A and B are shown apart, each in its own frame.
Chain A
Amino acid sequence: MPCREHRLLRLRVKGLAQDNGLKTMTFQALAQIVVSGLLMGLIYALIAAGLSLIFGLMDVVNFAHGEFLMMAMYAMFGLVLALAVDPVLLMPIVAGLMFALGAIVYLGVVRHAMRAKVNAGMVQVFATFGLAIVLRGLAQLFFTPDFRSIPNTWLGGKTLNLGGIFLPWPQLFGGAVSIAAFVGLYLLISRTDFGRALAATREDAGAVALVGIDRNKVFTIGWGLGAGLVGLAGSVMAIFFYIHPDVGGPFALTAYVTVALGGFGSIFGALAAGVIIGLIEAITATILPTEMKSLGIYAAYLAVVFVRPRGLFGNI
Chain B
Amino acid sequence: MLIWGTATVLEVQSITTTYQGLIAISDVSIDVKQGEIVVVAGANGAGKSTLLKSISGMERPKSGSVSFEGSRIDGVAGHDITARGIAYVPENRRLFPRLSVRDNLMLGSYLHRKKADRDAPLQQVFELFPRLAERLDQRAETLSGGEQQMLAISRALMTRPKLLMLDEPSQGIMPKLVDEIFRAIVTIRALGLTILLVEQRLIESLEIADRAFILQTGRVVLAGTADEVGANPDIRRAYLGM
Measured CB to CB, the closest approach of chain B to A293, in angstroms, equals 38
> What is the bound-complex CA distance between A81 and B151, given in angstroms?
57
Which of A49-57, A72-80, A197-205, A228-236 contacts its partner? A197-205
* Cβ of A196 under 8 Å from chain B: yes
Measured CB to CB, the closest approach of chain A to B140, in angstroms, equals 9
Known contacts A196-B106, A196-B107, A214-B77; A209 and B99 CB within 8 A of each other: no
Known contacts A210-B78, A210-B88, A211-B108; A204 and B96 CB within 8 A of each other: yes
Interface positions of B from 123 to 156, Cβ below 8 Å from A: 155-156
Encode B106-124 as 1/0 by CB contact (under 8 A) with A.
1110110100000000000
Measured CB to CB, the closest approach of chain A to B9, in angstroms, equals 18
Contacts of B96 in A (CB 8 A): 199-200, 203-204, 207
* Cβ of A213 under 8 Å from chain B: yes
> What is the bound-complex CA distance between A197 and B111, given in angstroms?
11
* Cβ of A163 under 8 Å from chain B: no
> What is the bound-complex CA distance between A203 and B77, given in angstroms?
20
Measured CB to CB, the closest approach of chain B to A269, in angstroms, equals 15
Contacts of B97 in A (CB 8 A): 203-204
Contacts of A213 in B (CB 8 A): 79, 107, 110
Known contacts A203-B97, A209-B57, A211-B159; A196 and B103 CB within 8 A of each other: yes
Measured CB to CB, the closest approach of chain A to B241, in angstroms, equals 37
Measured CB to CB, the closest approach of chain B to A204, in angstroms, equals 6
Q: Check B99–A203 contact: CB distance below 8 A.
A: yes
* Cβ of A146 under 8 Å from chain B: no
* Cβ of B82 under 8 Å from chain A: yes
Q: Check A211–B82 contact: CB distance below 8 A.
A: yes
* Cβ of A193 under 8 Å from chain B: yes
Contacts of B186 in A (CB 8 A): none
> What is the bound-complex CA distance between A207 and B95, given in angstroms?
8
Encode A130-173 as 1/0 by CB contact (under 8 A) with B.
00000000000000000000000000000000000000000000
* Cβ of A2 under 8 Å from chain B: no
* Cβ of B90 under 8 Å from chain A: yes
Q: Check A209–B107 contact: CB distance below 8 A.
A: no
Residue of A whose beta carbon sits closest to that of B57: A209
* Extra contacts besides A196-B106, A210-B82 (11): CB < 8 Å: A199-B99, A203-B96, A204-B97, A208-B79, A210-B155, A211-B111, A211-B159, A212-B79, A212-B83, A212-B111, A214-B79
Complex A-B: 24 CB contacts under 8 Å: A193-B110, A193-B113, A196-B99, A196-B103, A196-B107, A199-B103, A200-B96, A200-B99, A203-B99, A204-B94, A204-B97, A207-B95, A207-B96, A209-B58, A209-B79, A210-B56, A210-B155, A211-B107, A211-B108, A211-B158, A212-B111, A212-B159, A214-B79, A315-B98
